[in-house]
Structure 1
């Protein structure tokens, strides 16, 4: 078995581009070999910001030979009366490159046809790679590419060279004058000589000596180990954020952890300011004091160059010090300006061209918040706190700190509100109304944060739908999917009884004064959008998809939908439930075919014994069934309904519904319609598979 090795050496590409290149190359080579029927054992794709590589091992040298049977024209046209091949047959064989000796008559379900075999000798793997490798490299889906010098070839950053080895031998190709060879370069700053590569083993060993660790996993382990060693020496704890770890892993070829510090005077700043400055802006790992759990004035940066003096540390500290000095300046200026006075400034900020200013948006969701306080029957004090939170929650957008650090919106509103003496429920609510920010994020704990969060998010969703900004594919610039799931999470975890239909109507009615749109059409679109998000959430938690489908349109109360969906999902294992579901479908089909939707029937006409037994049983369980539903005891209600199963089965076994007597037929159809309406209260059982 053979191997193929490819390296693309380039100038440093952005950290998030590294994973894109690695993932694409791995899957692209896998598809290439599978499509060409070339067996292989393993494909490894990996890299650094300066190089991407692929190693395919256990690779067959050739495609297997292929034999195909091709069926052609009818035998009547392919053979003459004596059974000899006609010109039609010979032309078909020539066109399809068939072996004439294999031509024969075959029987098919459509009759007798001409058949022949085509033999294709497997091509060499080297040849197939040579034909495709340049195209695969050029098709890496970087979100941005560039040209350089006189090249027409586009890549994330200028490409320096390629290595292309097949079993230790050069497999030549070139792209726009850049020819493949068996040479590469070591670390940009710590290794000057070119490196000759004779095998994959050479590649990993010689690059490591040249201060390059090509594998992401190994670099990642080195970073974690160095961070933990430093943390142990200085008795601090480090929050090794996975996202930051992935980023710095893709920023270096050989990692060196560097401990730095900043003046303790900056510890007076809110922790989120310190964390944002270190983590988001400088890609440093912040540390915490082991004694009190608070942010310490030490940080750890990851250098791509081995520190030989204090210059790297001093550089890290100098850059961070400048950023923290700016933050401290902004903080001191901002906290002296009341949030309330900044609200008016929102009138100057365009939220969205067609939807108006941020102030207008605030006014809309503030009104929705007031509506929600009525729905939730909150106290007058809670209503005041929620109204205050809604009024102030966007004010920090006008602060210098948030202008410089947009990630801190909500955080700074909370801090300034606290300093300026706002009630705790208000300043916490200002921060929490942005929650949840992502899937799995925590939801607001305060009533102020929860209500304003729902109101703000529903205004965003309804506003965007009203002007046609509906998410398509991956395009969701206003995060409407995330906002919908956020509303769902808050309502479920808080057990709020909110009619989503009325909530959407309230928000859309407020938008009518600003935007011209078809209210009913947009309302239907928004409701369907939210319900589809809710369906995905419930299915991800293990509730059967058809059980969700049967429940999702029955109520506008998310809590009721979930309770019913879980009940139906759990019931699917019961034979009686499956039997009832099939009977429901049968009733539904009969009524549709007869185009019958009347449910009033005459008891006196229903004279068959099984009809009377079914009616008596319905009368016997109906009251208990309705009481169970009113108490949202859906499992108990369903069990009550399932008592009808043997009576319904007997009815269909012994009674003909579609009889000639019009009065009897119509009356039986009405009875079935009445029975269907009873079942409809527990879900659309026609959805159950």
Structure 2
């Protein structure tokens, strides 16, 4: 069968830069699904996306669907013929609909009865016949939150569309989409080359656009910009400061990227670098440059969409644009320093945290009390923790943070140091929001950790305490993020903190503001639920998680230590047999109504396998108690793993349910001890295969 490569391109006005990559990927994914549903053979689907275009490129696309035989089942034979054997109206209607006579129908016999059957030969349709529906289907499923109309068109899209190029090899495939008829016209660069041109073949798309100063491949543009930034910065003995998100946004703004170097007045470097970097990156999409010590240089890079014959004009224009933004930051910084953070405490009363939970000043007071308590639990400086908690939100009332919200916390640190606060207090103001996202850094000091945890727990307990639990994907107070952040700080810094204790303290600090009587339990369950999700993301197997979760430890660091121990135990040769034995023991004890440990009478222990198990348990019990005292769960399970042979021998040779009630109860007590020793770490029976 004939195959050709297919190109579909929409020429548009400038597309939203933050959405461009997603639009390109979605267009390709939607069109590929349409191809698969249509059962059209192809080799691969690629996507192109630039500020003024979206395109899909399909290689080795078959010209037609394959012919196929379709079974068309008719009425049951019992309903297809009357008592005289004549076709009923149902049979005649079905046959007519399929273009046959009733007597031409085959019979389909199953264990549920017999039906009329027609095997219809359906010829495959051509790409030309199918393409319009597939293109409109793919476009209709694009993630466009706010479509727009333009001109006299009634169609809607994310931006006005001016051209629709559809080529199957060298042939134009006629179709209509978004009010346009397909052709071979493609838009070039807005300022370079030709405004538009005629594309001769689908295979020449990317190369023809490069001749018109357009790099259509999104990822190619990203890499070209990355390399140019790195090389230009390296020549200046500096390092470019950019994220993948910034790089992709810049790539979504230009079709012919040209990296240029500009500078600003060194006097602006007296302003905290974070504020300057924020305005350069977020407001102007510039790339700041840092020296080897991480200090900001007064030189920066930007990416132009034109290859100017007079680059000095372009550079000068960008330098004029950035100056007033940096001057604003300088003014805000100097103005803010005239008032201390402490003097701004009263102004927090004017900002509502939540109607039922009070103002930001109320929240600051609670964070202060909670941070002081947490500091006492982790041997941190309680005074510094309380002070940092009190001042934690004051930088929100500064001019700098009001203008540049992303530097909250950062500016708190600078202003605190200016006010003469201790280094730990200043650092805690900076690190209170850590971790902000998955993979983010953690607070570096114990005081910072105390304040970070206090803030998150105050929000969790407060919002749960008024019954506003997150539902579905709705989480306006970012409680899931707060829960994961809480877990990461406690676990990764190995802090001896118990969620139950922390939640109780937070509830106590709130006093009568909370109305939900189930708040304590709900918060603990919510956070532990996030822990399960976090562990699964770390590829911890579900049976290991279930084994530990069955014991419901509420101290996150302790929980994590148990997970590590059970994961290590599961790899031992003895694990499978001991897990099965634990499950068997649990079933026996449950059936007999035995709960907890019972006293064992050594005089009732017989010689042989029962005595061997008893002696081994007594020896291991001492080892387990010593390991549990220091929460060394790996050693606990390692010691218990030595019991495999004596446990197997006991079950093979000893009748637990002896006729003598005393012997029976003593053996149940022996099994109960075995079970309780394992339960000190986890419910190992959860590892047993079903």
TM-score, normalised with respect to structure 2: 0.90
Match of 2:573 in 1: 575
- 2:624 touches 2:639 (CA, 8 Å); kept in 1? yes
Displacement of 1:126 in angstroms is: 2.6
1:597 to 595, 598, 620: 595
Match of 2:522 in 1: 525
- 2:189 touches 2:195 (CA, 8 Å); kept in 1? no
Match of 1:303 in 2: 304
For the structure 1 residues 232 and 666, does the alpha-carbon distance in structure 2 shift closer, same or farther, using more than 3 Å as the test? closer
Match of 2:388 in 1: 389
Displacement of 1:112 in angstroms is: 8.3
For the structure 1 residues 620 and 94, does the alpha-carbon distance in structure 2 shift closer, same or farther, using more than 3 Å as the test? farther
1:213 to 199, 207, 215: 215
Displacement of 1:655 in angstroms is: 4.6
Deviations 1:559-605 (Å, cap 9, x if unpaired)?
Answer: 22222211211222323221111121222233444555365367477
- 2:367 touches 2:390 (CA, 8 Å); kept in 1? no
For the structure 1 residues 497 and 90, does the alpha-carbon distance in structure 2 shift closer, same or farther, using more than 3 Å as the test? same
Match of 2:420 in 1: 421
Displacement of 1:497 in angstroms is: 0.5
Separation (CA, whole Å) in 2 of partners of 1:634 and 1:623: 14
Instruction: Work out whether 1:103 is the aligned partner of 2:106.
Output: yes
Residues 374-385 of structure 1 mapped to structure 2, 5 A cutoff: 374-378=376-380, 382-385=381-384
**What is the DSSP-based 3-state SS (H/G/I as helix, E as strand, rest coil) of the residue aligned with 1:581?**
helix
Match of 1:407 in 2: 406
Separation (CA, whole Å) in 2 of partners of 1:229 and 1:418: 37
For the structure 1 residues 592 and 98, does the alpha-carbon distance in structure 2 shift closer, same or farther, using more than 3 Å as the test? farther
Match of 2:24 in 1: 22
Separation (CA, whole Å) in 2 of partners of 1:446 and 1:95: 83
1:44 to 25, 43, 46: 46
Match of 1:266 in 2: 268
- 1:286 touches 1:299 (CA, 8 Å); kept in 2? yes
Instruction: Work out whether 1:450 is the aligned partner of 2:449.
Output: yes
Displacement of 1:610 in angstroms is: 4.6
Which segment is superposed worse, 232-241 or 629-638?
Answer: 232-241
Match of 1:439 in 2: 438
- 2:456 touches 2:486 (CA, 8 Å); kept in 1? yes
Deviations 1:11-42 (Å, cap 9, x if unpaired)?
Answer: 11211111121111111111112222221111
Separation (CA, whole Å) in 2 of partners of 1:76 and 1:658: 62
Unaligned runs of 5+ in 2: none
Give the aligned length. Answer: 681
- 1:75 touches 1:105 (CA, 8 Å); kept in 2? no
Match of 2:556 in 1: 558
- 2:11 touches 2:164 (CA, 8 Å); kept in 1? yes
Deviations 1:288-318 (Å, cap 9, x if unpaired)?
Answer: 346x652221111112233343332222112
Displacement of 1:236 in angstroms is: 3.7
Separation (CA, whole Å) in 2 of partners of 1:503 and 1:485: 15
Separation (CA, whole Å) in 1 of partners of 2:83 and 2:573: 63
- 2:581 touches 2:647 (CA, 8 Å); kept in 1? yes
Residues 18-417 of structure 1 mapped to structure 2, 5 A cutoff: 18-67=20-69, 94=95, 103-104=106-107, 117-175=119-177, 177-191=179-193, 193-232=195-234, 234-289=236-291, 294-309=295-310, 310-378=312-380, 382-417=381-416
Separation (CA, whole Å) in 2 of partners of 1:53 and 1:682: 57
Separation (CA, whole Å) in 2 of partners of 1:664 and 1:152: 88
Separation (CA, whole Å) in 2 of partners of 1:661 and 1:111: 62
For the structure 1 residues 87 and 586, does the alpha-carbon distance in structure 2 shift closer, same or farther, using more than 3 Å as the test? farther
Match of 1:497 in 2: 496
Separation (CA, whole Å) in 1 of partners of 2:622 and 2:96: 77
- 1:554 touches 1:683 (CA, 8 Å); kept in 2? no
- 2:241 touches 2:289 (CA, 8 Å); kept in 1? yes
Separation (CA, whole Å) in 1 of partners of 2:628 and 2:99: 71
Separation (CA, whole Å) in 2 of partners of 1:55 and 1:487: 46
Unaligned runs of 5+ in 1: none
Which segment is superposed worse, 71-80 or 440-449?
Answer: 71-80
- 1:42 touches 1:58 (CA, 8 Å); kept in 2? yes
Separation (CA, whole Å) in 2 of partners of 1:202 and 1:412: 52
Displacement of 1:338 in angstroms is: 0.8
Which segment is superposed worse, 572-581 or 10-19?
Answer: 572-581
TM-score, normalised with respect to structure 1: 0.90
Displacement of 1:374 in angstroms is: 2.2
- 2:169 touches 2:202 (CA, 8 Å); kept in 1? no
Coordinate RMSD, CA, aligned = 3.3
Displacement of 1:60 in angstroms is: 1.2
**What is the DSSP-based 3-state SS (H/G/I as helix, E as strand, rest coil) of the residue aligned with 2:18?**
helix
Displacement of 1:246 in angstroms is: 1.0
Separation (CA, whole Å) in 2 of partners of 1:237 and 1:32: 45
